[in-house]
């Protein structure tokens, strides 16, 4: 079997790429190691930048997003018992974000792909990519108990942080940049209406808290917790009390409580693999980079990579030139490092390090005050959060 682009991984990056290639008349095969239900239920990101929304719409995956997505024109920063709203449109020339869960993006893209796209195989784990440096790379995978090979003109490694594609870049060529953080997030879903119309990012000496949502009836909430935390140590009452304590503010505000339906602990890290291309293997999304989640960049960065990649394949098809594919890694890495900086900045400004000194806490408050009082500082946050232009 042979295809033009062999796509490893059916997460947001692989599925969006397959969709954009299909629309450009380029054939592809998507190989996903997990089952459809697992991929569709995996609870992850919730915020789409304007550019991600535009790309989903342009490729025909915007119908339900337009009906059910909730446009958010700002966020609230809460610290020192004060609250400050950052207004995105006025600070960014009209940009906003949309609350629409990754689970829903993935469901929409899978439905489209199965209806009118190329092959998308579930429970088809890839073991190896061979011949990255040749004109005919080969993907080896298992499906329905048998070993298979897929010959490709190009391979797109969209297989996430624990995938195999990045190992197609030889050790001597690959450089890894990494940073670990001394805290994790406890993430919960609750059958409780959101306590605020917009997201709240709360700095507190007890640790960071984030108030997000999935729908008008479901809240998505996060608490900073120590690395290695067992969710079983956090009964529901303890979670609500801690959320309440970390969001204390000198004005009217009621935290809406309700039954907690899911709990999990998410470690965080910053990670970049360079380059994002070796020969005919191109890495996209979490396969090449991870950001800590505080700026809501992970999914959006994955989308930006494959937007660039799909344009490069389209350019090759129309002109025969690989110039955009040759520029792929450098083009993406500029945006990746911007997002790494912003995500690291949001993380370290809003979380309380276990060894944090009172001096460090004063610096955090000073930084937050600066954002609250200077339109320039606020615009810097707003532009990064709402999303910089894709290229």
Catalytic annotation, residues:
72, 201, 293, 297, 385
Closest by CA to 293, choosing from 378, 189, 181, 377, is 181
Q: Which two tokens stand for residue 293?
A: 């989640």
In this structure, what token pair is assigned to residue 358? Answer: 């009172």
Tell whether residue 31 is a contact of ligand FAD (CB under 6 A).
Answer: yes
Residue 210: in which H helix or E strand, if any? strand 209-215
> Residue 199 CB, nearest distance to ligand DHB (Å)?
6
Site string for ligand DHB, 230-249 (x = CB under 6 A): --------------------
Which region, judged by CB under 6 A, interacts with ligand DHB, from 27-35, 77-85, 251-259, 293-301?
293-301
Which residue in 3, 5, 6, 8 binds ligand FAD (CB under 6 A)?
8
With 0-12 / 13-18 / 19 or more C-beta atoms within 10 angstroms meaning exposed / middle / buried, residue 82 is middle
Note whether 299 and 52 are within 8 A (CB): yes
What is d(CA 317, CA 310) in angstroms, rounded to the nearest whole number?
Answer: 11
Is residue 353 within 8 A of residue 268, CB to CB? The reply is no
Among 29, 55, 283, 302, binds ligand FAD (CB under 6 A): 302
Binding span for ligand DHB by CB under 6 A among 43-51, 128-136, 234-242, 247-255: 43-51
Q: x/- contact string, 99-118, with ligand FAD (CB under 6 A)? A: ---x----------------
Strand partners, 152: 3
Q: Which stretch binds ligand DHB (CB under 6 A): 17-25, 105-113, 136-144, 288-296?
A: 288-296
Cβ atoms < 10 Å from Cβ of 135:
9
- Partner from ligand FAD, ligand DHB, none contacting 16, C-beta within 5 to 8 A by type: none
Does 163 help bind ligand FAD (rule: CB under 6 A)? yes
Separation in Å, CA 235 to CA 212, 260, 261: 20, 9, 12
CB of 343 to ligand FAD, least distance (A): 9
46 part of the interface to ligand DHB, by CB under 6 A: yes
What's the DSSP call for residue 256? Answer: P
Packing angle between helix 358-373 and helix 323-350, nearest 10 degrees? 120
Q: In what order do the strands lie in the sheet containing 260-274?
A: 82-87, 74-79, 199-202, 209-215, 218-225, 175-190, 260-274, 289-290
Between CA 53 and CA 346 the distance in angstroms is 23
CA 280 to chain centre: 25
Scanning 6-14, 71-79, 86-94, 345-353 for contacts with ligand FAD by CB under 6 A, the matching segment is: 6-14
CB of 110 to ligand FAD, least distance (A): 11
The Cα–Cα gap between 285 and 287 comes to 5
Q: Interface with ligand FAD by CB under 6 A: which range of 43-51, 63-71, 175-183, 358-366? A: 43-51
User: What distance, in Å, lies between the first and last C-alpha atoms of the chain?
Assistant: 34
Using rule CB under 6 A, residue 56 touches ligand FAD: no
Q: Which is nearer to ligand DHB, 92 or 294 (CB)?
A: 294
- Candidates 294, 311, 331, 349; binder of ligand DHB (CB under 6 A) is 294
78 lies in the binding site for ligand DHB (CB under 6 A): no
Q: Using the rule CB under 6 A, which residue among 13, 16, 39, 47 binds ligand DHB?
A: 47
Which residue number, 49 or 76, has a Cβ lying nearer to ligand FAD?
Answer: 49
Q: Which residues pair with 126 in a beta bridge?
A: 141
Contact between 304 and 51 under an 8 Å Cβ cutoff? The reply is: yes
Rule CB under 6 A: choose which of 6, 137, 293, 387 binds ligand DHB. 293
Of 164 and 225, the one with the shorter C-beta distance to ligand DHB is 225
Structure tokens at 389: 């232009």
Residue window 243-272: x/- pattern of binding to ligand FAD, with contact defined by CB under 6 A: -----------------------x------
| Contact footprint for ligand FAD (CB under 6 A) | 8-14, 31-34, 39, 44-46, 102, 125-126, 158-160, 162-164, 266, 285-286, 293, 296-299, 302
| Contact footprint for ligand DHB (CB under 6 A) | 45-47, 199, 212, 220, 293-296
């Amino acid at each position: 079997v042979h295809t033009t682009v062999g796509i490893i991984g059916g997460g947001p990056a692989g599925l969006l790429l397959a969709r954009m290639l299909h629309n450009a008349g380029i054939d592809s095969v998507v190989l996903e190691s997990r089952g459809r239900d697992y991929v569709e239920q995996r609870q992850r990101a919730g915020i789409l930048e304007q550019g991600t929304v535009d790309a989903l719409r342009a490729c025909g995956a915007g119908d339900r997003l337009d009906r059910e997505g909730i446009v958010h024109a700002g966020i609230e920063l809460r610290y020192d018992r004060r609250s400050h709203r950052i207004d995105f449109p006025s600070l960014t020339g009209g940009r906003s974000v949309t609350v629409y869960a990754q689970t829903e993006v993935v469901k929409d893209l899978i439905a489209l792909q199965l209806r009118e796209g190329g092959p998308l195989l579930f429970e088809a784990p890839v073991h190896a990519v061979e011949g990255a440096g040749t004109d005919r790379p080969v993907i080896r995978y298992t499906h329905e108990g048998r070993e298979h090979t897929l010959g490709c003109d190009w391979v797109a490694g969209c297989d996430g942080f624990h995938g195999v594609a990045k190992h197609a870049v030889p050790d001597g060529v690959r450089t890894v940049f990494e940073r670990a953080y001394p805290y994790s997030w406890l993430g919960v879903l609750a059958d409780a209406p959101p306590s605020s119309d917009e997201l709240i990012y709360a700095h507190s000496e007890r640790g960071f808290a984030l108030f997000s949502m999935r729908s008008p009836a479901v809240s998505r909430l996060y608490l900073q917790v120590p690395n290695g935390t067992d969710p079983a140590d956090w009964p529901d009452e303890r979670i609500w009390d801690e959320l309440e304590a970390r969001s204390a503010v000198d004005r009217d505000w009621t935290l809406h409580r309700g039954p907690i339906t899911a709990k999990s602990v998410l470690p965080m890290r910053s990670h970049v693999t360079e380059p994002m291309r070796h020969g005919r293997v191109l890495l996209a999304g979490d396969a090449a980079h991870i950001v800590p989640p505080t700026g809501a960049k992970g999914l959006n960065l994955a989308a930006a990579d494959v937007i660039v990649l799909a344009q490069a394949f389209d350019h090759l098809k129309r002109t025969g030139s690989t110039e955009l594919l040759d520029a792929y890694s450098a083009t993406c890495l500029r945006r990746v490092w911007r997002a790494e900086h912003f995500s690291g900045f949001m993380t370290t400004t809003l979380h309380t390090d276990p060894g944090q000194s009172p001096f460090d806490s004063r610096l955090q408050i000073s930084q937050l005050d600066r954002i609250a009082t200077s339109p320039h500082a606020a615009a810097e946050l707003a532009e990064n959060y709402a999303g910089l232009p894709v290229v």
